[in-house]
Amino acid sequence: MHSLDQLGMALGLASLAGINLYLTVLLVGIMVRFDVMHLAAQHESLAVLGHNWVLAVAGVLFLVEFFADKVPWVDSLWDSVHTGIRPIGGTILALQVLGTMPPYMEVIAGLLAGTAALTTHSAKAGTRLLINHSPEPFSNVLMSSAEDVAVGGGVFLIFAHPYIALCVFGAVMVILWLILPRIFRLIRSSAWLIWNKLRMPGRTEPAGDPSTLPRELNGDLLMLLAIQADTAEHDVAWTAHCVTGRAKGFKGVRSNLKGLLVARVGGNQVFLVVRKFFSQYLVAIPLSGTKVEAESRFLSENLTLTAATRSITLCFPRGQSPQVGAMSAWLRNVAGTNAVNPAASALPAVEEDQSQEELAPLPAL
């Protein structure tokens, strides 16, 4: 049973290190230093965490993280810096718990511990990015405080009931792995928006009317449009890179997918091309009776297209407000809603042929 005991402690400490490495080291060190909990013989290697210098360094770094972790966007910057530090620290903690092992077991244990720490770190970083999109700062403070309490409770559970801790952290890992695809999509899309915002601080791109909007086409995209939408190159009015926000009524379209919005000359719909796994999907967005709204957010310029049974939000890089305004004018002209009228928006939207809303995926060439 000592093996399960050690495994529970090792994976538990690695998981907590992915959330807050310095607090985990500090709490374990304090418990060892002041004999709050006596270490069993197989865990004597953790005694090094009770050294005065280890406690001092961990305490100072935790103090810095305590404040940095509660400031919007500073917390995300802090998380990005610790993307490598936390998994490595969690791996070292786990190996300290397991003590002397055959070399092949050390490699396996290191891989498991590093994966556990990276999983919890990714979940924390993705959650913070989502929270940072809200305008108020209180949610950051509440989430950071909840994480600190969770780490403290987790350390106590690991030492008091290692077998229960193994079951709890195992269940948490399963849940996190189920939602990791969404978290990684959120991190990827936010990183793209942040990068574009940093490229143009304090300025916007030149304004343009719909006729001067760019067209970015390649062979794969032209083939996809020709086969699924009967659209040739000369039929394309303009294209724009975007990230999907909330979507309703469009099967297969999820939040935080990188996409390309394609407008067609003389048509009453636009196309959204998104990549999922190794295939490109083309989704038709009917415009008849659709309300078009533009909104500026901290990281993005958003376009929301709303009809009776469907809606979708498309996020464009911050600083492209003139282009988004031109797109909005073009879309409203096609949709027949040149101005957003709240009274008119309550009327039923014109129903489109549902077979045209979603088209089958075409494997990327």
Task: Please name the CATH architecture into which domain 210-363 falls.
Answer: Roll (2.30)
3-state DSSP of 80-110: HHCCCHHHHHHHHHHHHHHCCCCHHHHHHHH
* Integer Cα distance of 351 and 317 in angstroms: 31
Which of 54-58, 157-161, 237-241, 276-280 has the weakest average pLDDT? 276-280
pLDDT per residue over 318-362, tens digit each?
Answer: 878 888 888 888 888 888 754 444 333 333 333 434 333 444 444
46: DSSP letter:
G
How far from 249 is each of 202, 225, 253, 295, CA to CA, in Å?
Answer: 37, 21, 9, 21
Decide if pLDDT at 114 tops 90: yes
Extract the tokens encoding 289: 């009776």
For the chain, give the number of residues.
Answer: 365
pLDDT per residue over 272-330, tens digit each?
Answer: 998 877 778 888 999 888 899 988 888 889 999 998 889 999 999 887 888 888 888 88
pLDDT per residue over 180-225, tens digit each?
Answer: 888 888 888 888 888 888 776 555 555 555 666 777 788 888 888 8
Which of 8-22, 252-266, 312-326, 351-365 has the weakest average pLDDT? 351-365
What contacts 324, CB < 8 A, 6 or more positions away? 294, 301, 303, 316
User: Domain coordinates of the chain in residue numbers?
Assistant: 2-199, 210-363
